Chains A and B, each alone.
Chain A
Amino acid sequence: MLRKYSNHRTNSDNIKLGALTAFSAGMVNVISVCVFFAFTSNITGYYAVLPQEIAKGNWYQAAVVLLWILLFFSGSLLSNLLIIHGKSRMGQYVSHAIPVILELLCVLFVGLYLDFFYGDSLQETEFLVGALLFAMGLQNGLTASISNSVVKTTHLTGLTTDLAILVSMFTIQANRSNKALVDKFHLLLSILGAYFAGGLLSGICYVYYHNFTFYVACFVLLIIALYDFYKLARVKQLFAHRKRAFAS
């Protein structure tokens, strides 16, 4: 799911990556709306809010929105820097897993801060939302980069548009048996469903378990980071087993 890059990825790899990351993005987005009244998985709206706040002369609010956009940008930037420069030093899997680990640490930090230090002040809110946007930037940068822009887990506007285009294309008989189009349809549908399911779970979790929801999101991210580690370990184990069998 994480160790393969660009055109070497199968549709199954993309579906696993897309669904799991979209699930965590949906969770983070809904809980941040519940706790902070701010969206954190998408920044399209903030590009509309920024000029609006500047026009109104609300410099504080404009600075907050600008900071959030820049943090999302920084997250994506860092993620891609790790991927393109880390591959030769740390190997493909590790360089792809580090952004997920960093994202996990950001979400964990927000959860722990809310549990033990949060004083409900506006400045704390702004920086915690910033941390979540940075985390989402890391994730979006990673998924888009390693999948050659096929998987975008938080870009639901583009996804809905692509889905609508595919549905219209499927009105033609020949397209319905086109494997590439059908695979893409399955991928988009998985991302959409997972994002919605993550949001729903987060909303329900928040009602009963409040900030604990952040730790559930961390658990999902841990699965993403360690899934390939488990697979690699398993493959190594199998090779070692076969080697011993040949030797004997």
Chain B
Amino acid sequence: MLRISRDLLIKLTYLLVASLLFVSVGIIMYAENPERLIQGVWQEKEWHLEKDNAPHQNLTVAMLSKGLRDEILQELEEFHHGVWKFDGNRVIHPDGGVIRDEMEWYIKGRGHILELRRDGKPLESFQIQRIDENSMVLHLNLDLQVKGVIKIVLERIADREEYAKKV
């Protein structure tokens, strides 16, 4: 039976910890991260309303009561047209291209929180459930007329390069 000396094992442990540290730092430095992925133009596809005491409901943007949707996005007039435009300077542009009050976006946590601020004050924070080149799923905890989680599914309609050229 193969026996490894304890002196060797402790060295292997240190080597393992150091390797894991280097690998994780390398991935953080060079891998595609949510902050870069989110840049571009996103179109809302559907909203899912997930309540504790009600069956799961799938709602398209058109189906969702306008009153409820506007109340949820009360402070976020820029998103009332269903198009979310994130630029590289962390500014969100409204659909018409005119900025009423500049609003900034920030990614926090381990890359799983999207925070929106106006004049440096936090307005809303969403949990990024999934993000890739084509789609993004955001969760929003709400406590308005209904208590539950809103799941917002967005689809990329213009990539970063296209959007950067346009801007």
Point out residues on A near B: beta carbons under 8 Å: 36-38, 49, 53, 56, 58-61, 63-68, 70, 73-74, 120-123, 125-126
Contact = CB atoms under 8 A, between A and B. Distances in A.
A63 B109 contact: no
B70 to A, nearest CB: 26
Interface of B is mostly: mixed
Contacts of B109: 36-38, 125
B113 A121 contact: no
Nearest to B117: A120
Contacts of B12: none
B113 A67 contact: no
Nearest to B90: A120
Nearest to A127: B28
Contacts of B24: 63-64, 66-67, 70
B151 to A, nearest CB: 15
B147 to A, nearest CB: 22
Given A37-B125, A60-B32, A66-B20, A122 B111 contact: yes
Nearest to A39: B109
Nearest to A119: B90
Contact of B110 (A49, A56, A70, A74): A49
A63 to B, nearest CB: 4
Nearest to A77: B17
B126 to A, nearest CB: 11
Interface string B113-137: 1010000000001000010000000
Task: Give the size range of B's interface with the partner.
Answer: 20 to 34
B44 to A, nearest CB: 22
Given A66-B24, A122-B33, A122-B108, 18 more contacts: A36-B109, A37-B108, A37-B113, A37-B125, A38-B109, A59-B27, A60-B111, A61-B112, A63-B27, A65-B110, A67-B24, A73-B17, A74-B17, A120-B90, A122-B107, A125-B108, A125-B109, A126-B110
B4 interface: no
Contact of B34 (A36, A60, A65, A73): A60
Interface of A is mostly: helix
Nearest to A122: B35
Given A66-B20, A67-B28, A70-B24, A61 B111 contact: yes
Contacts of A123: 28-29, 33, 35
Contacts of A37: 108-109, 112-113, 115, 125
A63 B112 CA distance: 13
B8 interface: no
Contact of A126 (B21, B28, B113): B28
A65 B34 CA distance: 14
B52 to A, nearest CB: 21
Contacts of A58: 111
Nearest to B113: A37
A126 B23 CA distance: 15
A28 B51 CA distance: 33
Given A37-B108, A70-B20, A121-B35, A60 B113 contact: no
Contacts of A70: 17, 20-21, 24
B23 A36 contact: no
Nearest to B110: A64
Contacts of B23: 63, 66
Contacts of A125: 107-109
